[in-house]
Structure 1
């Protein structure tokens, strides 16, 4: 109780509002969906992150890294990995350390954009093809469940970016039957890996 009081006092003292919501929802077929959302408010900036999982019958939810460590911030990195004749952008959603050295990668997306210079806003659909064969607005990737990066086998995500902000929403199916939706709206980092 003392720790909670200290945290509330610190948040109030710095004029920052915070709201964390954790819920479990049962679906009609008896499966359960874990949901976690975090919202931090500042006078001019709002950072939101919400993730939901739906597990089919027979699959037990793994411990979610999203819930570990209340002080672990979520970061988004968009890296341009375009090479001659092929557009490729890596989107990393991770928690822990901004430099990725001590972070947990939550979602990894490899997308083909219509532009070779920047990730174009729009809706991207899952593809089984490799980056060189993919059409514009297609992607592949993984989502972390527990300690395992599980391949995506279907779904889509949308991206809207402006200035230093990005909004990502996804609705994905994983190869073990788990379905997940997520929504992130925050500052993000850009990285140019074209010359590496």
Structure 2
């Protein structure tokens, strides 16, 4: 009888622990207790003249930004106009034309509802065919977003030259 009771307690404990802790993939972002998996990343070079401008979109629920309802949008300046520089990027409230390299602003969209990013940093390291992003943001509603993405990305060239 005692062995049966111990077995039941062990099975209950295993069941409880397995359902209580949600497994987080390597590609995710988290706000409070809620976790979203990230399926893809789009990196667009939108630089013009000598001004660096890149858009980095981390996408949940689909592989295409145009179909996404939940995603992280980051508008950033790099140290060059031709590729996204590896490094740590900090939030900036200045306009794009006045923004220094390694600065960004952005928003989080959850089910198409926008919340501005008002603080924090993210780091990025890109290789030829993959990218690593690590994020820690303070949101306008007081929440904190953390997350990371490692993997392939889509690269888009929307840069403009006025020569």
TM-score when normalising by structure 1: 0.65
Q: CA RMSD in A?
A: 2.6
After TM superposition, the structure 1 = structure 2 runs for residues 26-45 of structure 1, keeping only pairs within 5 Å, are: 37-38=24-25
Change (3 A) 1:53 1:105: closer
CA drift at 1:105? 4.0
The equivalent position to 1:51 in structure 2, one of 26, 29, 39, is 29
Q: How does 1:1-196 map to 2 (within 5 A)?
A: 37-38=24-25, 48-54=26-32, 66=36, 74-195=39-160
Structure with bigger strand share is: 1
Alpha-carbon distance change, 22 to 185 in structure 1, aligned in 2, over 3 angstroms: farther
When residues 120 and 103 of structure 1 are mapped into structure 2, their CA distance, relative to the original with a 3 A threshold, is same
Gaps of at least 5 residues in structure 1 are 1-20, 25-34, 39-47, 55-60, 68-72
Q: Deviations over 1:85-104 (max 9, x none)?
A: 31100000113443433223
Q: Distance in 1 between matches of 2:65 and 2:121?
A: 25
CA drift of 1:148 comes to 1.3
In structure 2, the gaps of 5 or more residues are 1-17
Name the TM-score, length of structure 2 as normaliser: 0.78
Higher Cα Rg: structure 1 or 2?
2
For 2:20 and 2:124, the matched residues in 1 are separated by 26
Q: Which has the higher contact order (CA 8 A, sep 6+)?
A: 2
Q: Which has the higher helix share?
A: 2
